Amino acid sequence: MPSSDRKHRRSPKTAPLLPQKDADSGHYNGASFSGAVFNLSTTIVGAGIMALPATLKQLGAIPGVIVIILAALLTEKSIEMLLRFTRASKSASYSGLAGDAFGGFGRTLLQGCIVINNLGTLVVYMIIIGDVLSGTSSDGVHYSGVTEEWFGQHWWNSRSNFLLLTTLFVFAPLISFKRVDSLRYTSALSVALAVVFVVITAGIVIVKFINGSIGMPRLLPKLVDQASFWKLFTTVPVLVTAYICHHNIHPIENELRDVSQMKSIVRTSIVLCSTVYVATSFFGFLLFGDHTLDDVLANFDGELGIPYSSLLNDVVRVSYVIHVMLVFPIVFFSLRLNMDGLFFPYAIPIAYDNRRFFSVTAALMCFVFLGANCVPSIWDAFQFTGATATVSVGFIFPAAIVLRDTHGIATKRDRLVSLVMILLAVSSSTVAICSDIYSIFNIGIEA
């Protein structure tokens, strides 16, 4: 085991989350190729999928699709470099690799970024679930959720009670697994639900095309003044963070039956997610055109111009929320690992200590639940932290590790790609932070 991992954690040399023998079944042969693909794809395709059609609205159909594909290629390269440097350092985790390159400070900083990113993501997921299913209130106006529209207002579908029931009966069982591979079936369902959204959207587009109520999409960006030019750059944060899954690469690889498959698993997952992304973006933009909202889910809240519009709207919203519920545990998995690494850096792996496992799990779940229910301004806080933490996990740390090159294996191409990654990450963070500050000040002036 490398010294960077050994001095922080007393664990077996291979440092898996659990030994290859399962206490319940007596044996565990390792994760399959398909299970790993579904888990990694679910990590990638989170709530951000709904923001992609708006990028085509800003960039136009052709540049938008090209940029989505380029973001996929860049992400694949960053993960390939991450895996190559992991093997050179003989590290068993992302934080171990950061520790090998930058020492204890680098390890702790990376773990902090992953914790901030994942906590913010999970809080936003829970807010989305509450908004869609139980409704939300803003400026004294209540917007009904799906369950309120179906069943009326009851004690069980009030926002806080519904989220509590979801936490107890959906999240609690799913986040109690000690192997990420145990989530392969829910991850497969999550990916399938993302495909369902694409199929429904494509179906609506085909029906409207046949009856002549849909036009050609705008192929290029619409530049009318300087403001419209600068608005193109607001798509950068969405595209840069669309494929972030680096925090789950090592947990998935550590459980594989054949670790040599990891590169193919990454490639398959990115191709699958890119296909879903391109289809979602294209059909969403084709359906709503210049009326596409920043979150295309909000477009499915009115008349679609075809029969059964109300039913289709509900199917889209409910399937999306179930998708988010199933993404939740896969993001929580790496959150728990890195939070444990921050607070118990010298302890045995958390999967071997039941008391610590369930204590950390309960504490994190309580924080997410309270954050989504009791702190309205937490969304604004996570917009800033997410703008920096997310790109750090996905691009800055992999690029910095390559440029540091403690084992002398980086090529000129690796260094060039790393510089591009850092440039994109910094520009993405700058645009996102400036946009958030502008929005907050605008809201304050309007108030």
* 422-438 residue pLDDT tens: 998 888 778 777 776 76
The 3-state secondary structure of 19-61 reads CCCCCCCCCCCCECHHHHHHHHHHHHCCHHHHHHHHHHHHHCH
CA atoms of 239 and 227, how far apart (whole Å): 20
Using a pLDDT cut of 70, give the percent of the chain over it.
86
CA atoms of 423 and 7, how far apart (whole Å): 33
Question: Residue 282: how many CA atoms within 13 Å on its side-chain side?
Answer: 19
Please report the pLDDT score of residue 12 as a whole number.
Answer: 36
* 75-93 residue pLDDT tens: 999 999 999 999 999 998 9
Alpha-carbon distances of 305 from 263, 284, 320, rounded to whole Å: 45, 15, 21
* 173-231 residue pLDDT tens: 999 999 999 999 999 999 999 999 999 999 999 998 888 777 777 888 887 777 777 77
CA atoms of 49 and 42, how far apart (whole Å): 11
Count of CB atoms situated within 10 Å of the CB of 150: 12
Please report the pLDDT score of residue 32 as a whole number.
Answer: 92
Lowest mean pLDDT: which of 2-16, 80-94, 278-292?
Answer: 2-16
* 92-123 residue pLDDT tens: 899 999 999 999 999 999 999 999 999 988 98
Which tokens hold the place of 332?
A: 């929580």
Q: Which helix (H) or strand (E) holds 137?
A: strand 136-138
pTM of the model: 0.88
Q: Which helix (H) or strand (E) holds 138?
A: strand 136-138
